[in-house]
Amino acid sequence: MSLQNAIGHNGNGNGHNGAVPGTNSTGVVITHSTTPLPAGVHLPLYMDNHATTPLDPRVLEAMMPYLTGKFGNAASRNHQFGWEAEKAVEIAREQIARLIGASAKEIIFTSGATESDNLALKGIAEMYRERGNHIITQATEHKAILDTCKKLEKQGFRVTYLPVLADGLIDLDDLRRAIVTEGPEKTILVSIMFANNEIGVIQPIAEIGKLCHEKGVFFHTDAVQAVGKVPVDVQAMNIDVLSISAHKLYGPKGVGALYVRRRNPRVQITEQINGGGHERGMRSGTLNVPGIVGLGAACEICMSEMAAEAQRETELRDNLRAKLEAALDYVQVNGNMEHHLPGNLNMSFVYVEGESLLMGINDIAVSSGSACTSATLEPSYVLKALGLGDEIAHSSIRFGLGRFNTKAEVDYVADKIIEVVRKLRELSPLYEMVQEGIDLTKIEWAAH
Amino acid sequence: MAYSDKVVDHYENPRNVGTLDKSCGSVGTGLVGAPECGDVMRLQIRVNPQTQVIEDAKFKTFGCGSAIASSSLATEWVKGRTVTEALTISNTDIVKELALPPVKIHCSVLAEDAIRAAIGDWKKKNGVAEEAHAEVAVAS
């Protein structure tokens, strides 16, 4: 009934025979498992699609000619090699623009979303410094935004970090109050992410855009997790600047884009990289033609498959959640589930520490908000921003379902999580105390 | 993160998991750490009143694999020793035995604290004078 032997598991016992488990070819320890491996499920199993997504074979196929024979520089204006490269880049520009309701001329290619975020924030801050020195963002942004804002603060800009509500969404009234419309402290930019990379919540982007538009403030959104997964329309949503990454939507790593609005209002950004004046002067450097072709192809696939895929992933995710909630007590879902990415599920398995849980399921790639998985020993700042206790963050697991995950995989992951959570709760003094009716908040814990 | 074989072995097959009756006079209980820090260890010992030998030890731990392994190992090491001998177990011995990386040293410190807290609790219950070096970090 089990394929465990076939995949190198020690299938000869109950996992308590004292033998040291084997390791796979990467040196990662594979622990014993009593959860059967269904047909069609292969280990290790990838379910961490917010970190990165696998390259879609159709995207690779589109890229291949530009990694081989069609190697021209898109800036070479006087021969065929340059022309075919330039043509490919312009097709990709169209494909990306179409997915987000922009026009092709509004797309600037970058090395990825971190660069796009840097270019958007620093480029606007520098260009509009005379207009005002105030920028608004929020607490659960990606570090590409938060660290850039810290840098701008050092340069004299004032940055407001809006808090989030317990469900992870910002309060629009907080934003309205934070916008300064006059004087030297005038707000020049609001940067609020579209969808969160840890808890998957989708901010009220259209409402934010409308508000910014009314107040005459530029609106940037880091839409890395949203583009290609949920509908994004820069016109309907009044988005002025938007960051995209290819490797989050089944494209290659090392390429991204920045949408910069050209009219109503026209947004100008000061370039951060000089040398050659590529991308209308906003981003110099020879274009990554195969990467750009890949990003374009990835966008086109998302555009045609989004509706069906979103429904499929939502069903899988709801299935996973239902199975876990039915089998285990003391679990909680983190983040608003109504305004949510299809493939995201962030759950806390209370009284079980996240890293020990990952250790027990190490043939499955997911993430934890536990401190122990980070170099800083600080638990996830995103979960902390929701006002959850640190112990909830320490117990959290992020499941990131994607295009290539199947129902059989979801069932396997659920069974495995249930097995390991039960085992670790047998080991957990907190779980035992709660079962005995002890209120853990009444205990004077010694901080260490 | 790569774990040493010994950490994996203790995680897979934790020794002496369980609970002793904390109201019993011969049992000492140490509860150290805090849920918000991501580590809580409870280590319990049963001490023979005549010989002061630790005849049984049990633990439960909320924490990462290294924390589980450190406390599991601590129960193995205290069993069969007198309370005085058990107090000589130091966190550096645990680090060495389990090959813990620097980022996990706090797990071994917590295990040492748990041993000291359990012995301290037993001494308090039995009116044994506290020695200067046996200062304990009792959690409550």
What is the number of structural domains in chain A? Answer: 2
The rounded distance, in Å, linking the Cα atoms of A9 and A31 is 8
B37 is catalytic: yes
Q: Is A437 helix (H, G, I), strand (E, B) or coil?
A: coil
Instruction: For A97-110, give the DSSP string.
Output: HHHHT--GGGEEEE
pTM: 0.90
Identify the domain containing residue A39 by its residue range.
5-54+306-442
Nearest Cα to Cα of residue B84 among B127, B116, B50: B116
Whether A83 and A13 share a structural domain: no
pLDDT in tens, A273-320: 999 999 999 999 999 999 999 999 999 999 999 999 999 999 999 999
Q: Which residue has the tokens 């290790």?
A: A44
**Domains of chain B, with CATH numbers?**
5-128 (3.90.1010.10)
| Contact B50/A at CB under 8 A | no
pLDDT in tens, A414-430: 999 999 999 999 999 99
Give me the CATH number covering residue A362: 3.90.1150.10
A372 is catalytic: yes
Whether A178 and A209 share a structural domain: yes
Residue A447 lies in a domain: no
Identify whether the C-beta of residue A135 lies closer than 8 Å to the C-beta of residue A189. Answer: yes
At which of A281, A301, A321 does a domain end? A301
Whether A161 and A267 share a structural domain: yes
Distance, first Cα to last Cα, chain B: 33
Taking only residues 383 to 402 of chain A, the set having a beta carbon closer than 8 angstroms to any beta carbon of chain B reads: 389-391, 394
Structure tokens given for A445: 């814990």
Residue A22 lies in a domain: yes
The rounded distance, in Å, linking the Cα atoms of A226 and A340 is 10
Residue A264 lies in a domain: yes
In angstroms, the Cα distances linking A446 to A229, A441, B40, B42 are 45, 12, 10, 13
Give the one of A27, A375, A445 whose C-beta lies nearest to B2's C-beta: A27
Residue type, A273: I
Q: HSE on the CB side for A251, CA within 13 Å?
A: 34
The answer to whether the CB atoms of A448 and B33 lie below 8 A apart is yes
Residue A251 lies in a domain: yes
Q: Which residues of B touch A352 (CB under 8 A)?
A: 62
What's the gap in Å between the CA of B73 and the closest CA on chain A? 14
Whether A262 and A388 share a structural domain: no
Whether A351 and A231 share a structural domain: no
Instruction: For A343-360, give the DSSP string.
Output: TEEEEEETTS-HHHHHHH
Give, for all 140 residues of chain B, the pLDDT tens digit.
578 999 999 999 999 999 999 999 999 999 999 998 889 999 999 999 999 999 999 999 999 999 999 999 999 999 999 999 999 999 999 999 999 999 899 999 999 999 999 999 999 999 887 654 444 444 44
Taking only residues 81 to 140 of chain B, the set having a beta carbon closer than 8 angstroms to any beta carbon of chain A reads: 103, 106, 109-110, 113, 137-140
The rounded distance, in Å, linking the Cα atoms of A172 and A138 is 12
Identify whether the C-beta of residue A153 lies closer than 8 Å to the C-beta of residue A258. Answer: no
According to DSSP, the residues that pair with A10 across neighbouring strands are none
The answer to whether the CB atoms of A445 and B1 lie below 8 A apart is no
Whether A181 and A312 share a structural domain: no
Residues in chain A: 448
Residue A448 lies in a domain: no
Q: Which residue has the tokens 């033609």?
A: A289
| Contact A442/B at CB under 8 A | no
Whether A316 and A213 share a structural domain: no
Q: Which residue has the tokens 């049990």?
A: B58
pLDDT in tens, B14-47: 999 999 999 999 999 999 999 988 899 999 999 9
Q: What is the distance of C-alpha A398 from the center of its chain?
A: 11
ipTM reported for the complex surpasses 0.85: yes
At which of A278, A301, A324 does a domain end? A301
Question: What residue in B sits closest to A24 (Cα-Cα)?
Answer: B2
